Amino acid sequence: MTTMKAVVHTAYKTFPSLKDVPKPTPGPGEVLLKVAGAGACHSDVAIFDEFEEGLNPQMDPEFTLGHETSGWVEELGEGVKGIEHGAAYLIYGPVGCGVCRACTRGQDTYCENAAKMDYAGVGLGLDGGMAEYVVAPARNLVPLGEVDPIDAAPLADAGLTPYHAIKLALPHLNGGGKFALVIGLGGLGLVGVQILKALTGATIIATDMKEDAMAEAEKLGAITVPGGEGQVERILEITGGKGVDAAFDFVGVGATVKTAMDTAARQSRVTIVGIGNLSPYEWAFLGTPYEAELVSTYWGTVEELHEVVDMYAAGQISPQVTRYSLDDALEAYQLLVDGKLSGRAVIVPHGKK
């Protein structure tokens, strides 16, 4: 048996391990990829640090982490057609039943049979991309063309998730004099600022606890407002008092949801992307802006991932990537846990180039 190195989720409330696992072989309809890059997403921290037995059985250990992966096609499983050997692809991570209404429109995230499945996707129950090789269903592959697949790896989640959230909010940002708020300027949030810039004419207000993250957002064209006392007032002042037309919360803890709702305009849309809040949110009729929508959202569709790749190829978005070897993957996760990473850490198993 050939083995390979992989970053494995071994138990809940336990830091992952780098260990030897069997090199996978592609089954019917599947493709084996040599991993180019695998992004370290904060959701992985939720899986190994915050989730516990019984909360979400699809994430039960053991499996290889890495749900934000790119790679080169190494081997085609039985019956696979239309995938080019040697070419670079992104993996669309969510894997649903493949035949329900949601899956057939390319939205495996909302698979109608999800409750009956014991995994949520590649790197989420199924073995993921934090390894030398990974297997994915052929229908989950999105061609990368000529772009560098290592720098493009974050598109699979840090690109797709804000893209989906922003696309659904576009009706609120359509027209002049609109304001968007981005909370949390890490892997997802910094790409979110770029997508807002490319798709809307809105004034973008951004906030984070970290100075360097805010400086980066300013370079991308956002106005930044630090957290703490006076933050809500300052944001309202920038909007001329009316509030923001769309807010995107890439943290999602009680305090950030409150900031978003306290600065929301009437008829606005507040999208919670960060999974920081697993306890109830308090809502009251008075004090909540009329017709302000409060929604959560999960990842995106495979068609949208094609659109994100198009934006990347056109130079409209470019994730901030720091490369780590597979041997240094645990160090990257530790920095993510400690809140010390900027942009996205991408694990590069076959040499950093």
Q: Which residues bind Zn ion (CB under 5 A)?
A: 41, 43, 157
What gap in Å lies between CA 114 and CA 133, rounded to an integer?
A: 26
**Which amino acid makes up residue 255?**
A
Q: How far is the CB of 112 from ligand NAD (least distance, A)?
A: 18
Q: How far is the CB of 146 from Zn ion (least distance, A)?
A: 26
Q: Does 185 bind ligand NAD (CB under 6 A)?
A: yes
- Alpha-carbon dihedral angle through residues 183, 185, 190, 195, given to the nearest 10 degrees: 0
Q: Which does 253 bind (CB under 5 to 8 A by kind): ligand NAD, Zn ion, none?
A: ligand NAD
Q: Which does 46 bind (CB under 5 to 8 A by kind): ligand NAD, Zn ion, none?
A: ligand NAD
Among 299, 312, 324, 333, indicate the residue that binds ligand NAD (CB under 6 A). Answer: 299
Are the beta carbons of 185 and 251 closer than 8 angstroms? no
Q: How far is the CB of 58 from Zn ion (least distance, A)?
A: 14
DSSP run (H or E) holding 9: strand 3-9
What gap in Å lies between CA 185 and CA 183, rounded to an integer?
A: 7
What gap in Å lies between CA 214 and CA 39, rounded to an integer?
A: 21
Q: How far is the CB of 56 from Zn ion (least distance, A)?
A: 14
Q: Which is nearer to ligand NAD, 210 or 306 (CB)?
A: 210
H helices present in the chain, as ranges: 42-45, 101-104, 149-152, 160-173, 187-199, 211-219, 231-238, 254-262, 302-313, 329-337
Among 106, 125, 187, 349, indicate the residue that binds ligand NAD (CB under 6 A). Answer: 187
Q: Which does 168 bind (CB under 5 to 8 A by kind): Zn ion, ligand NAD, none?
A: none
Residue 328's nearest CA partner among 34, 125, 135, 40 is: 40
Which three-class secondary structure string do you get for 20-58? Answer: EEECCCCCCCEEEEEEEEEECCHHHHHHHHHCCCCCCHH
Q: How far is the CB of 3 from ligand NAD (least distance, A)?
A: 29
Are the beta carbons of 89 and 73 closer than 8 angstroms? yes
Q: How far is the CB of 138 from ligand NAD (least distance, A)?
A: 23
Q: Does 65 bind ligand NAD (CB under 6 A)?
A: no
Q: How far is the CB of 348 from ligand NAD (least distance, A)?
A: 18
Residues numbered 210 to 239 that lie near ligand NAD (CB under 6 A) are: 210, 213, 227
Name the segment binding ligand NAD (CB under 6 A); options: 94-102, 170-178, 296-304, 314-322: 296-304
Please, what's the largest Cα pairwise distance for the chain? 66
What gap in Å lies between CA 183 and CA 265, rounded to an integer?
A: 16
Among 107, 140, 256, 301, indicate the residue that binds ligand NAD (CB under 6 A). Answer: 256
Q: Which is nearer to ligand NAD, 89 or 299 (CB)?
A: 299
Q: Which is nearer to ligand NAD, 59 or 183 (CB)?
A: 183
Among 154, 274, 319, 349, indicate the residue that binds ligand NAD (CB under 6 A). Answer: 274
Among 255, 303, 310, 322, indicate the residue that binds ligand NAD (CB under 6 A). Answer: 255
Name the segment binding ligand NAD (CB under 6 A); options: 96-104, 126-134, 267-275, 319-327: 267-275
> Shortest Cβ contact with ligand NAD: which residue?
186
Q: How far is the CB of 78 from Zn ion (least distance, A)?
A: 30
Residue 24's nearest CA partner among 116, 102, 136, 138 is: 136
What gap in Å lies between CA 265 and CA 243, rounded to an integer?
A: 4
Residue 274's nearest CA partner among 291, 302, 254 is: 254
Residues numbered 301 to 340 that lie near ligand NAD (CB under 6 A) are: 336, 339
What gap in Å lies between CA 179 and CA 68, rounded to an integer?
A: 30
Q: How far is the CB of 339 from ligand NAD (least distance, A)?
A: 5
H helices present in 83-186, as ranges: 101-104, 149-152, 160-173
The site for ligand NAD (CB under 6 A) is made up of: 41-43, 46, 157, 161, 183-189, 207-210, 213, 227, 250-253, 255-256, 273-276, 297-299, 336, 339
